[in-house]
Amino acid sequence: MKTYLIRFSMIATLAVSSVLAVSAAQLQADVPFDFVLGSKTMPAGRYLLDRGVSTGVLIIRSANKEESAVVSTTTVNSADYQTGKLVFHRYGDQYFLAEVWTPGSDAGGKLRQSSRERELSAEHSVRPERTTVALR
């Protein structure tokens, strides 16, 4: 319980400080399908993304402010500059947010697989289909 409270406090602090700070890294995407982010299912719609005060933190919230999540990411690099995009792993009709690539950058953020995605990956024993959504 104590660990949970400490984690919650840290995430809340990061979220609040990121919302209060004016960030040039805020991006937008129109996601045409429901998707899983961590342990949460996010409905299709317009989303605002912010890398937060740390590049290892991703804050994503729906444009109507009904849904939001804060997740940690691992920085990954590409050999070339990327267009802004969200990369989803698709298993059947389920989509999982896997990567976030900032426009004009060779660095992106990779999200940790959720337990549900790990289960589906083991069940299907094939690589997931990659689906991309433009990020602007």
Residue 75 tokens, joined: 């920085």
- Sort 126 into a burial class: Cβ within 10 Å, 0-12 / 13-18 / 19+: exposed
Q: Tell me how far apart the alpha carbons of residues 103 and 136 are, in angstroms, rounded to a whole number.
A: 7
Contact 12, 59 (CB under 8 A): no
Task: Name the DSSP letter for residue 102.
Answer: -
pLDDT of residue 124: 77
Alpha-carbon span 31 to 79, nearest angstrom:
26
Q: What is the pLDDT along the chain (136 residues), one digit of tens a residue?
A: 666 545 655 565 555 444 434 444 589 999 999 999 988 999 999 999 997 655 689 999 999 989 999 999 998 888 777 789 999 999 999 999 999 998 888 888 999 999 999 999 888 777 899 999 999 8
